Chains A and B, each alone.
Chain A
Amino acid sequence: MSRFERWKQIGQPLIGVAGLLAVWEIAAQSGLVDPFLLPTVGQTVEALARGVTSGPLLGDLAGTLDRTGTSFFIACVLAVPLGVALGSSANVYRSFEFVIDFFRSTPASALFPLFMVVFGAGDTTKIAAATFGAGLVVLFNSAYGVMNARKTRILAGKVMGVGRLRLLLDIMLREAMPQIIVGMRGGVSIALIIIIVSEMLIGSSDGLGYRIYAAQVLFDMPTMYGVIFATGAVGYAFNLFFLILDRRFIHWGGK
């Protein structure tokens, strides 16, 4: 790759960012948009920096990461083995397919009231709802990954005399890995969405969702914009993490 191409690769995505910031700044400075509704870029960055250095933002970030991470972890621990087990028998999966698809299509936020009755208005409810939403996506992808394992590879294992358990662990699980990572990427996004929404709606005293909501109630627009962008950055970072994980370690996807 030539030096020009390398700079182009780094520079190109920044053009969009610069464009967005420019439009924002012009809209805010020119008075086209009510300056109260749309603070300038500078004010937003300043509010964000203040929130991080002397305000509660780091704590909020930690709270959101903790809840999202906990739900995602529980979701994976439960859903990957279950999905692999379900997927290893197409008949078993077909029996559960409708139930899984139905709940996968149900917005997890619709279940908030139910979870609140069961778990109370606290973190347990948030984590339970996010685990549920993320878990179904991971489950579904894990099962499909195993079901779509190349038949020839499984036959190759059988002819070698590979036993059932090793066939599952050595061959089917490896075959399913790329799809499982796709499920994890989707699952962590869903967990973050549900955690942010539940922090807004269900009794909270910290978290990025709570902070956005609180800033809106206080009409602190620069902070609100700042935290919205911080939330976006968290989601993007999760996505990037799984993309890199996939490219680095799951090199055989589609091979």
Chain B
Amino acid sequence: MLNALPDIRGYEGTMQASRETYLRIAGLEKRFGDTRVYNALTLDIMRGEVVSIFGPNGCGKSTLIGILSGIIEADGGSVSYGGKTLRDTRIGYVFQNYREALFPWMSARQNIHYPLKIAGIPARERDERVERLISLFDVSFDLGRYPYQLSGGQQQLVSIMRALVVDPDILFLDEPFSSLDYEMTLFVREQLQKALHLTNMTTILVSHDLEEAVYLADRVILLSRNPSRVVDIVPVPLAWPRQPEVVASEQFVALRARTLETFRKELRN
């Protein structure tokens, strides 16, 4: 956790996701008009693990984290956040569209401060926490600038910092790289990998890019078309930290092939 950062443990070796279930999704129901998006979806997420959600377009990947973060209301079922309700849970959420998610009337630094301000944390403590968080990232740009003066990757990095600054119990990432070019994606992905492991953050990443979904995840959850159910859960036993070259490794290619095969089979049905 961020507050206990002084004893940073390195993130070498495999991820230390505990075997303790954090998020318990049971019998989740959601429909939009006549479309049943979720019909009794059940899923467990471990504390401290990074899970990618992958599935065909329109299967409700974003709807799922929308429901889990309270943006969208479910029609039925229950979600437990480590025994607590959503009300008592701190949520971090990173939107796909960083340009519309950041507040352009505030500087990047003020954007990161804002959630702490909302939480009623005094200015001095806010400063400390923001500085500590910034030190986790390679921030080579001026945080005093307005978001629209930064590049896309820098803006998304600010969004990620804004989501992490409250030391959330769980972090949701909704297609965080899909508005970025490849170079920026690599940069933000590395920063994110490091931050998630240093903070041991329970994370759910929604992605339509298989490589990305596998790269950052401890497990990849494959969803089917509507009504979505879990088709397969693919563990990703690659060592941390992962280097960009890992995508060319035999193990990675085999994992991706297996996932893709399951995905194709599912689409044919």
Identify the A interface with B (CB < 8 A): 150-153, 155-156, 158-162, 166, 170-171, 174, 177, 251-252, 255
Contact = CB atoms under 8 A, between A and B. Distances in A.
Contact of B119 (A150, A161, A170): A161
Interface in B59-87: 69-71
Contacts of B105: 174, 177, 251-252
Interface string B19-36: 000000000000000000
A155 B104 contact: no
Contacts of A174: 103, 105
B118 A159 contact: no
Interface in B69-115: 69-71, 91, 93, 95, 97, 99-105, 114-115
A166 B118 contact: yes
Contact of A155 (B95, B99, B114, B118): B95
A251 B146 contact: yes
A152 B91 CA distance: 16
A158 B100 CA distance: 14
B11 interface: no
Interface string B135-173: 000000000001110000000000000000010000000
Contacts of B91: 159-161
Contacts of A170: 114
Q: SS class of chain A's interface: helix, strand, loop or mixed?
A: helix
Nearest to A159: B93
A159 B71 contact: yes
Nearest to A251: B146
A152 B69 contact: no
A160 B118 contact: yes
Nearest to A252: B104
Contact of A153 (B71, B93, B103, B166): B103
Given A153-B100, A153-B101, A161-B119, 18 more contacts: A151-B100, A152-B101, A153-B103, A155-B71, A155-B95, A155-B101, A156-B93, A156-B95, A156-B102, A156-B103, A159-B93, A160-B91, A160-B166, A161-B115, A166-B118, A251-B146, A255-B104, A255-B146
A242 B90 CA distance: 42
Given A155-B71, A252-B105, A160 B100 contact: no
Contacts of A158: 70-71
Contacts of A251: 105, 146
